[in-house]
């Protein structure tokens, strides 16, 4: 039965209301589970997950009555295609769909409740305890115990569930014949047949920056921990970089700063000294977004968010931002602690909420990021302004800022930014290289861990401090793997946020080098950003990229690493010179991973 456009519009209006309501119900069930992990709340979430799949299945059938070739209106056809793009919900075997939801819930429960043991008597949760040890301890043995303890408690216990999870997801997603495997489906949200090769090319362009940073940090860490801890292959031990996954190195800034006597910031200390409360951290973030003309948090946000880890129940501590699809209820769930890292995560999560608020009046189907990387990029972009010495001084978290001709202070600041924004790049890239190879069937369960360490050794130039084998499951020690959450979105975000930062600083006429630009209280920058955010996923993401960059030297509808490399250019030159001065050999043996026991 071919129905015309008018009927399609009527159908879509009805769909919009029903879908938003179903989404609300599911979000409430998921919220109840994540803020109180019990058998009952997990079962209730699974029940609602099945109800949502059933709703999507039925509506996809209803939408298929319309003949898209007879729909001329681009907007209507885009909406109808989104109603029919339901992923695993197209799989009619609800028993298997329930199993997928159960497995994901169970893996997330194991991850969230895991306690890593340092010895036979002391077992600690990841947040805040093990995170703090990895961030602050300078004792090699203690770091090794925390690193190994966490993986034994999380990855090892998740391992047995992952193979079935993968095969069920692939069976469900290939049922309709539209997708080759689950990785193919994940990548389809970028609406580009060349996406996989595009990100590979971007990653290769960023290699020189990372290799120079890696060589410098390796030399400085050798001075501290002793050269005997560093193999001839050139790898750095994975557990001495200040982060449980070696994805952000800012916590070891004090050990490796280029000009230590010009110590710039210790935000964590300032937060404690100034008796910051958790709420004040959120108010500071809200003030940044409202200062550029974006939005304040709705009152339900303050009423319903979970901002502190409860003492009397188990929760999913990994931070997230929630849209309850009723245009009013938006929440953050974060086990917030008084540290600089958490202050940045507060800005990150609130950045997601701002995106939600910008597109809340769009049709339900368009209330998404232009692509998943754009949502993460929006979450992160204010941190490029917020962390400048100028801004830190403005909000009283830093007393002295490096003067304009203080190149040493400037290098220190750029270096500190590179410890998060450059150190992250290979990790942001490799997590889904691993996952996509698993979904493709290239990496079988017997070699899950070997493939993981092949990639970690190859792209990150780090190696495991204790022997690993295929009896371990280290990918499972990173939230997004048991959580089933895509990761390439962060790599895309780390590229895109510099393109946006450059464009916004330009349109806002903020003079000076890119790395000292602070868009705080600049409503022109805010308006330009808002114009993109308000598009949601109503248009292909290239148009959203063009919306932000148009009229500037970086005008493009594509991802480009040029602004990121421009931002770090003074540091790249400094690192190249310094590495040459010390005859540092850049890079590492990409095909030989120390401490991995081949089967
Ligand atoms: O995981 C996060 C922060 C959590 C989140 O805000 O990205 C969160 C992750 C998540 C949790 C549950 C389900 C899905 C995703 N994402 C969101 O809350 C979110 C994602 C898309 C749209 C709206 C909100 N960051 C990553 C990468 C990262 C990003 C930025 C700085 C440092 C590190 C990490 O910690 O490895
Ligand atoms: Zn995020």
DSSP 361-429: TS-GGG-S-SSHHHHHHHHHHHHHHHTSHHHHHHTTS-S----TT-HHHHHHHHHHHHHHHTTTHHHHH
Count of CB atoms situated within 10 Å of the CB of 407: 13
Residues with Cβ within 8 Å of 268's Cβ and at least 6 positions away in sequence, in order, are 338, 339, 340, 341
Give the separation between CA 301 and CA 282, rounded to whole angstroms: 11
Residues 50-88 have pLDDT tens digits of 999 999 999 999 999 999 988 999 999 999 999 999 999
Residues 324-380 have pLDDT tens digits of 999 999 999 999 999 999 999 999 999 999 999 999 999 999 999 999 999 999 999
Q: Which helix (H) or strand (E) holds 124?
A: strand 123-125
Mean pLDDT of 10-19: 98
Atom of ligand 1 nearest to the CA of 248: 32
Give the separation between CA 431 and CA 594, rounded to whole angstroms: 20
Share of the chain above pLDDT 90, in %: 95
Mean pLDDT of 280-307: 98
Does 264 score more than 50 pLDDT?
A: yes
φ, ψ dihedrals at 236, nearest 5°: -105, 140
Which ligand is the nearest neighbour of the Cα of 487?
Answer: 1
| Contact criterion met (CB below 8 Å) for 12 and 3 | no
Give the separation between CA 390 and CA 510, rounded to whole angstroms: 13
Atom of ligand 1 nearest to the CA of 379: 6
What is the best residue among 490, 496, 497 to mutate for testing ligand 1's pocket, by most ligand atoms within 8 Å of CB? 490
Q: What pLDDT does residue 405 have?
A: 81
CA atoms within 13 A on the CB side of 308: 10
Give the separation between CA 528 and CA 532, rounded to whole angstroms: 7
Confidence grade of residue 598 (pLDDT, cut at 50, 70, 90)? low
Q: What pLDDT does residue 1 have?
A: 47
Give the separation between CA 288 and CA 295, rounded to whole angstroms: 10
Q: Whose CA is nearest to atom 11 of ligand 1?
A: 320
Distance 317 CA to ligand 2 centre (A): 14
Give the separation between CA 289 and CA 284, rounded to whole angstroms: 9
Atom of ligand 1 nearest to the CA of 428: 27
Distance 586 CA to ligand 1 centre (A): 31
Residues 502-544 have pLDDT tens digits of 999 999 999 999 999 999 999 999 999 999 999 999 999 999 9
Distance 376 CA to ligand 1 centre (A): 7
Residues with Cβ within 8 Å of 280's Cβ and at least 6 positions away in sequence, in order, are none
| Gyration radius of the chain's alpha carbons | 24
| Contact criterion met (CB below 8 Å) for 476 and 158 | yes
Confidence grade of residue 41 (pLDDT, cut at 50, 70, 90)? very high
Count of CB atoms situated within 10 Å of the CB of 131: 24
Which ligand is the nearest neighbour of the Cα of 375?
Answer: 1
Mutual orientation of helices 562-581 and 195-225 as an angle, nearest 10°? 30
Q: Whose CA is nearest to atom 32 of ligand 1?
A: 248
Which ligand is the nearest neighbour of the Cα of 344?
Answer: 1
Strand 236-237 with 462-463, pairing: parallel
Mean pLDDT of 218-223: 98
Strand 320-323 with 236-237, pairing: unpaired
Mean pLDDT of 561-569: 98
| 3-class SS of residue 250 | helix
| Contact criterion met (CB below 8 Å) for 549 and 503 | yes
DSSP 8-state class, residue 89:
G
Distance 420 CA to ligand 1 centre (A): 15
Confidence grade of residue 401 (pLDDT, cut at 50, 70, 90)? confident
Catalytic residue among 171, 390, 480, 566: 480
Residues with Cβ within 8 Å of 59's Cβ and at least 6 positions away in sequence, in order, are 15, 18, 19, 83, 86
Confidence grade of residue 2 (pLDDT, cut at 50, 70, 90)? low
Distance 320 CA to ligand 1 centre (A): 6
Q: What pLDDT does residue 312 have?
A: 95
CA atoms within 13 A on the CB side of 15: 25
Does 249 score more than 80 pLDDT?
A: yes
Atom of ligand 1 nearest to the CA of 245: 36
Q: What pLDDT does residue 261 have?
A: 67
pTM across the whole model: 0.98
| Contact criterion met (CB below 8 Å) for 467 and 595 | yes
Q: Which helix (H) or strand (E) holds 56?
A: helix 39-63
Catalytic residue among 211, 349, 368, 450: 349
Distance 193 CA to ligand 2 centre (A): 25
| 3-class SS of residue 87 | helix
Whether omega for the bond prior to residue 128 falls within 30 degrees of 0, making it cis, is yes
DSSP 8-state class, residue 459:
I
Structure tokens at 550: 């148009």
Give the separation between CA 519 and CA 509, rounded to whole angstroms: 10
CA distances, 239 to each of 133, 147, 233, 247 (Å): 10, 6, 17, 11
Q: Which helix (H) or strand (E) holds 321?
A: strand 320-323
Q: Whose CA is nearest to atom 2 of ligand 1?
A: 319
Q: Whose CA is nearest to atom 27 of ligand 1?
A: 490
Mean pLDDT of 252-259: 95
DSSP assignment of 167-214 equals HHHHHHHHTTSS-SSHHHHHHHTT--TTHHHHHHHHHHHHHHHHHHHH
Confidence grade of residue 403 (pLDDT, cut at 50, 70, 90)? confident
Q: What angle do CA 476, 478, 484 make, to 5 degrees?
A: 75
Give the separation between CA 182 and CA 184, rounded to whole angstroms: 5
Q: Give the pocket of ligand 1 (CB within 6 Å).
A: 247-248, 319-321, 348-349, 352, 375-376, 379-380, 483, 485, 490
Give the separation between CA 400 and CA 265, rounded to whole angstroms: 9
Give the separation between CA 462 and CA 541, rounded to whole angstroms: 34
Structure tokens at 561: 């690493």
Q: Which helix (H) or strand (E) holds 462?
A: strand 462-463
Which ligand is the nearest neighbour of the Cα of 352?
Answer: 1
Asked if 349 is an active-site residue, the reply is yes
Confidence grade of residue 486 (pLDDT, cut at 50, 70, 90)? very high
What is the best residue among 111, 241, 321 to mutate for testing ligand 1's pocket, by most ligand atoms within 8 Å of CB? 321
Q: How much is the mean pLDDT over the chain?
A: 96
Poorest-pLDDT segment among 157-166, 264-273, 468-477: 264-273
């Amino acid at each position: 039965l071919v129905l015309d456009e008018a009927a399609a519009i009527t159908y879509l209006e009805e769909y919009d209301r029903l879908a938003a309501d179903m989404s609300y119900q599911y979000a409430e069930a998921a919220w109840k589970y994540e803020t109180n992990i019990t058998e009952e709340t997990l079962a209730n979430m699974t029940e609602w997950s099945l109800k949502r799949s059933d709703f999507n299945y039925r509506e996809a059938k209803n939408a298929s009555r319309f003949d898209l070739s007879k729909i001329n209106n681009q907007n209507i056809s885009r909406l109808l295609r989104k109603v029919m793009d339901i992923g695993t919900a197209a799989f009619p075997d609800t028993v298997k769909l329930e199993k997928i939801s159960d497995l994901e819930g169970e893996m997330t429960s194991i991850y969230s409740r895991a306690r890593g043991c340092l010895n036979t008597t002391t077992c600690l949760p990841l947040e805040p305890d093990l995170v703090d040890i990895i961030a602050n301890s300078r004792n090699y043995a203690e770091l090794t115990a925390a690193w190994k303890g966490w993986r034994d408690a999380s990855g090892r216990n998740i391992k047995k569930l992952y193979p079935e999870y993968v095969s069920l997801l692939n069976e469900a997603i290939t049922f309709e014949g539209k997708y080759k495997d689950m990785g193919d489906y994940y990548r389809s949200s970028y609406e580009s047949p060349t996406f996989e090769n595009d990100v590979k090319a971007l990653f290769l362009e960023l290699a020189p920056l990372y290799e120079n940073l890696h060589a410098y940090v390796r030399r400085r860490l050798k001075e501290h921990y002793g050269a005997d801890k560093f193999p001839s292959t050139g790898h750095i031990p994975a557990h001495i970089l200040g982060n449980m996954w070696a994805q952000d190195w800012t916590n070891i800034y004090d050990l490796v700063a280029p000009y230590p006597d010009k110590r710039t910031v210790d935000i964590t200390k300032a937060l404690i000294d100034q008796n910051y409360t958790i709420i004040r951290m959120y108010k500071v973030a809200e003030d940044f977004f409202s200062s550029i003309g974006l939005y304040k948090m709705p009152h339900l946000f303050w009423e319903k968010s979970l901002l502190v880890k409860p003492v009397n129940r188990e929760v999913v501590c990994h931070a997230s931002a929630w849209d309850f699809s009723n245009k009013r209820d938006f929440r953050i769930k974060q086990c917030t602690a008084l540290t600089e890292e958490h202050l940045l995560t507060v800005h990150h999560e609130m950045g997601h909420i701002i995106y939600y608020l910008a597109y809340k009046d769009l049709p339900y189907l368009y209330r998404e990021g232009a692509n998943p990387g754009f949502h993460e990029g929006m979450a992160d972009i204010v941190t490029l302004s917020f962390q400048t010495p100028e801004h830190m001084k403005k909000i009283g978290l830093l007393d002295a800022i490096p003067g304009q001709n203080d190149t040493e202070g400037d290098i220190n600041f750029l270096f500190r930014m590179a410890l998060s924004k450059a150190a992250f790049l290979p990790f942001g890239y490799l997590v889904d290289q691993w996952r996509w190879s698993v979904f493709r069937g290239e990496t079988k369960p017997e070699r899950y861990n070997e493939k993981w360490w092949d990639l970690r050794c190859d792209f990150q130039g780090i190696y495991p401090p204790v022997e690993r084998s295929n009896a371990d499951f280290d990918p499972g020690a990173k939230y997004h793997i048991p959580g089933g959450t895509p990761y390439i979105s962060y790599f895309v975000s780390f590229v895109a946020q510099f393109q946006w930062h450059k464009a916004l600083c330009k349109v806002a006429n903020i003079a000076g080098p890119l790395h000292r630009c602070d868009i705080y209280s600049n409503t022109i920058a805010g308006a330009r950003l808002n114009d993109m955010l308000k598009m949601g996923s109503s248009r292909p993401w290239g148009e959203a990229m063009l919306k932000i960059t148009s009229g500037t030297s970086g005008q493009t509808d594509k991802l480009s690493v040029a602004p990121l490399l421009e931002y770090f250019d003074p540091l790249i030159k400094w690192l190249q010179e310094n590495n040459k001065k010390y005859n540092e050999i850049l890079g590492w043996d990409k095909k030989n991973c120390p401490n991995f026991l081949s089967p």
